[in-house]
Chain A
């Protein structure tokens, strides 16, 4: 999808799910609005699952790969693993 930068802006939504499936429960989220109208989404998760964002018109740009645990550090936890990156194009 192309975007007209003179008239449109990108909104980006990061969702982190409890497992690698898109139907997984949202456990963390971040929202960034290139139009500058909204700076954040407070309160409850904007969608209960990754699929919920798809149904609301968000376009999935990227999903993190299924984790492969490193030999010798199989039980080490760090970042939140299951990241989905969505975009939505809105009027500027």
Chain B
């Protein structure tokens, strides 16, 4: 097994990503690399949009081809625990979509409205957005705000900006060298930074180039994967994938939660290639009846 192969996600990690739309890897990048990345991000900010920008990638380039050595950002992306998580969700060698350096100065009172990135997107296949925080982010220190569980809702960009507060919204806080992976659809926003410390964040969006089927460490898949009869109103397990996918966010009422269960089950079918998978019989019920009338 390669070094990256030793750092693939487990089934439970991927199921939690499907349920909540994000996966946090706290302090996954070592301090020495963080220091080099901070310096390089400063250079990128200073030369943004100019020919002087070093390692500037183009949309459509293979991940393996961007930010070549000695780029510190490239080293972060190739760092085995980071590369392993990306491979688990995207498959081998996704392509670069875009990236950006988000610098939030200390005392910055401005925040973004809540939004979904890019364009309303009904696809099942999904992009991953990697958020890298090279420095510690203290509570309330300008960390990215995000609403767990919103990733499968079809909205367009800042159409959801009216929602100033959503129950269960989180604001990233964590140690230096943390990486957070977002499903492309997760509602999020840049937050004010009332702290006395600047906050730096690097974001990169990656597109898959092959079906995102079973690219993680599936050693525990048979144990956790459930059949379509894992049904909360009949017989069910709490230690199955369905048990993980049933996670309910604070902002979800009963009607919302049920629609999310069907959407999550559909996404898990794509990721596993199992067209019979279900959570609480919602997909199976209608599929079984579809040919009758």
- Residue ranges of A at the interface with B (Cβ–Cβ < 8 Å): 14, 16-19, 24-31, 40-42, 45, 75-82
Contact A75 B263 (CB under 8 A): yes
CB within 8 Å for A29 and B263 given contacts A77-B152, A77-B154, A80-B251: no
Contact A28 B163 (CB under 8 A): yes
Q: Which residues of A are found within 8 Å of B260, using beta-carbon distances?
A: 77
Contact B167 A45 (CB under 8 A): yes
* A78 to B163 alpha-carbon distance, docked (Å): 13
Instruction: Out of B155, B164, B252, name the residue touching A78 (CB < 8 Å).
Output: B155
Q: Which residues of A are found within 8 Å of B154, using beta-carbon distances?
A: 76-78
CB within 8 Å for A79 and B159 given contacts A30-B165, A45-B165, A45-B167: yes
Judged by a CB distance under 8 angstroms, whether B287 is at the interface is: no
Q: Which residue of A lies closest to B154 (CB)?
A: A78
Q: How far is the CB of B21 from chain A (nearest CB, A)?
A: 13
Contact A78 B253 (CB under 8 A): no
Q: Which residues of B are found within 8 Å of A18, using beta-carbon distances?
A: 252-254, 256
* A41 to B164 alpha-carbon distance, docked (Å): 9
* Nearest 3 pairs of A and B residues by beta carbon: A18-B253, A30-B164, A27-B251
Contact A75 B164 (CB under 8 A): no
A-B Cβ contacts below 8 A, count: 62
Q: Which residues of B are found within 8 Å of A80, using beta-carbon distances?
A: 160, 163, 166, 251
Q: How far is the CB of B120 from chain A (nearest CB, A)?
A: 9
Q: How far is the CB of A84 from chain B (nearest CB, A)?
A: 13
Contact A79 B253 (CB under 8 A): no
* A74 to B85 alpha-carbon distance, docked (Å): 34
Contact A27 B250 (CB under 8 A): yes
Q: Which residues of A are found within 8 Å of B253, using beta-carbon distances?
A: 17-19, 24-25, 27, 82
* A29 to B168 alpha-carbon distance, docked (Å): 12
Contact B259 A75 (CB under 8 A): yes
Contact A28 B152 (CB under 8 A): no
Contact B263 A41 (CB under 8 A): no
Contact B164 A31 (CB under 8 A): yes
Q: Which residues of B are found within 8 Å of A40, using beta-carbon distances?
A: 164
* A58 to B152 alpha-carbon distance, docked (Å): 34
Q: How far is the CB of B203 from chain A (nearest CB, A)?
A: 24
Q: Which residue of A lies closest to B256 (CB)?
A: A77
Judged by a CB distance under 8 angstroms, whether B1 is at the interface is: no
Judged by a CB distance under 8 angstroms, whether B162 is at the interface is: yes
Judged by a CB distance under 8 angstroms, whether B262 is at the interface is: yes
8 CB contacts below 8 A, A to B, read A26-B167, A28-B167, A30-B165, A31-B164, A75-B263, A78-B154, A79-B159, A81-B255
Q: Which residue of A lies closest to B163 (CB)?
A: A28
Q: Which residues of A are found within 8 Å of B159, using beta-carbon distances?
A: 79
Q: How far is the CB of B174 from chain A (nearest CB, A)?
A: 21
Judged by a CB distance under 8 angstroms, whether B102 is at the interface is: no
Q: Which residues of A are found within 8 Å of B167, using beta-carbon distances?
A: 26-28, 45
